[in-house]
Amino acid sequence: MEAFVQIPVNSSFFQQNVKLNLRQKSLGAPRARVARSVTLRMRSWGVRPGGVEKFADELVETANKIASPGRGILAVDESTKTIGKRLATIGVENTETHRRGYRELLFTCQGLGEYISGAILYEETLYQSTRDGRPFVDCLRNIGVIPGIKVDKGLAPLHGAALAHETWCTGLDGLSERAAAYYAQGARFAKWRAVIQIAPGGPTRQAIFENCYGLARYARTVQDQGLVPIIEPEVLLDGDHTIERCAEVQEEVYSILYNLCQQQGVFLEGSLLKPSMTLPGADSKQQVKPDVIAEMTVRTLERTIPAAVPGIMFLSGGMTEEEATINLNALNSRPRKGPWALSFSYGRALQQSCLKSWMGKDENVRAAQEALLARARANSKASLGKYVPGSEPTLDVTGTFEAGYKY
Ligand code: 13P
């Protein structure tokens, strides 16, 4: 079904999707001759109805903005417990005031929107304001960053699994209502992190299916409420496996995931993927160069990720800041068949230098913001394949890998 609609030229949908066309059509005609509105042939997108059809254009617009060239995501959705571990490394107590102060530093960083398109928040943060009362969501919008929200409720043991360490991701109960409330508060995208671990005898099919089912169910549920789902099937770095084994597991996981997304009616054009890169396990002796990581990662993605998905935003998974940037740069420095943007959604690999520069002190806020900007700029360049190793500062020399990492 197709329809003709009037779209005002100053709407954001127009700016993103129509301006270029119109410019081409008018072939240099004076701007004054361009009508104030344009008749457009809208696509129906062919989505399975249930709510998502109402938001389809907006979901596509949001997903494409997040994956726009040279920009990526700042993941700052650490749970209260996890941010406590980060603050402990700089000797800062885990109080609401300190958590709020740290996030204020991030969200008032002028210039960040040039490199960062979206920020994933934890629920507490979505409803917080600056010290002088400006809501964080407004601060983010002011610097050109789209607010997003972590909506899963964490990992739980997978009862009945053959391997005791396997987990599933909780949070489907009440998700629809929570997603609607987050949208009302200003969030426009969501994140759900499911975890798969490579180990002798694993991951089991049960763990793969359970986690992929949860991701697909979540994705469609939040789309019905207007949030772009970031689908995160994290294949952990834990283990001594080779890069080839990692590729094999990721291929299986992503194939099952997108099959289940199709079954659940997920609108792929309005979604994003957040995978780990294809890497040897943290305890593996295998030494692999960035160009091999890039080749294996792109091969895995090309075999499994539909072309309809606009962007693939990698997690950093415990790599150092510089490693994560160099690998992203390698990914964007080679030819590929896949049409998606390859960018970043880094948590640890964007915040280490910033935290270490801050140390909880007001007088260090500007230095901490400069450190954040430097890593954001580095990853922005890497997402375009233009990063020169060592050209931006970092204070993260050891990395933050942690076995069995919880977010
Ligand atoms: P890291 O980049 O620290 O792995 O975290 C990103 C994230 O959002 C994990 O869910």
Condensed to tens digits (0 to 9), the pLDDT of residues 337-357 reads: 999 999 999 999 999 999 999
Mean pLDDT for 44-64 is 95
Q: For residues 126 and 185, is the Cβ–Cβ distance under 8 A?
A: yes
Return the pLDDT at 267: 98
Condensed to tens digits (0 to 9), the pLDDT of residues 283-331 reads: 999 999 999 999 999 999 999 999 999 999 999 999 999 999 999 999 9
Q: Is pLDDT of 127 > 80?
A: yes
316 lines ligand 1 (CB under 6 A): yes
Indicate which residues carry an active-site annotation: 232, 274
Mean pLDDT for 212-226 is 98
72 lines ligand 1 (CB under 6 A): no
- Return mean pLDDT, the chain: 91
Query: Residue 207 has which token pair?
Result: 């763990």
**Beta strands of 109-251 (E only): which ranges?**
116-121, 146-150, 155-157, 167-169, 189-196, 228-235
> Which distant-in-sequence residues (6+ apart) come within 8 Å of 291 by Cβ?
330, 333, 334
Domain boundaries, given as residue ranges, for the chain: 52-382
Q: Is pLDDT of 63 > 60?
A: yes
Mean pLDDT for 239-268 is 98
Ligand 1 centre distance from Cα of residue 311 (Å): 16
Return the pLDDT at 42: 54
Q: Is pLDDT of 37 > 60?
A: no
Buried b (16+ CB within 10 A) or exposed e, 286-309: eebebebbbbbbbbbbeebbbeeb
Least confident of 20-29, 44-53, 157-166, 360-369: 20-29
Return the pLDDT at 407: 66
Return the pLDDT at 171: 98
Mean pLDDT for 21-49 is 52
Residue 174, helix vs strand vs coil: coil
Condensed to tens digits (0 to 9), the pLDDT of residues 169-183 reads: 999 999 999 999 999
**Distance of alpha carbon 279 from alpha carbon 328, whole angstroms:** 12
Q: Is pLDDT of 212 > 50?
A: yes
Q: What angle do CA 322, 102, 155 make, to 5 degrees?
A: 75
**Confidence band for 400, pLDDT divided at 50, 70 and 90:** confident
Residue 334, helix vs strand vs coil: coil
Return the pLDDT at 23: 37
Return the pLDDT at 254: 98
Q: What angle do CA 71, 73, 76 make, to 5 degrees?
A: 150
78 lines ligand 1 (CB under 6 A): no
Return the pLDDT at 192: 98
Cite the DSSP H helix spans in 230-347: 243-264, 290-304, 321-331
Return the CATH fold of 52-382. Answer: TIM Barrel (3.20.20)
Atom of ligand 1 nearest to the CA of 346: 2
Q: Is pLDDT of 3 > 50?
A: no
Least confident of 18-27, 358-367, 388-397: 18-27
Ligand 1 centre distance from Cα of residue 228 (Å): 18
Return the pLDDT at 15: 47
Atom of ligand 1 nearest to the CA of 349: 2
Return the pLDDT at 7: 44
Exposed, middle or buried: residue 58 (CB in 10 Å: 0-12, 13-18, 19+)? middle
Mean pLDDT for 88-95 is 97
**Distance of alpha carbon 270 from alpha carbon 98, whole angstroms:** 35
Protein residue closest via CA to atom 4 of ligand 1: 317
Other CB atoms within a 10 A radius of the CB of residue 143 amount to 17
Q: Is pLDDT of 14 > 80?
A: no
Using CA atoms of 92, 134, 107, 82 in order, give the dihedral in degrees to the nearest 10. Answer: 40
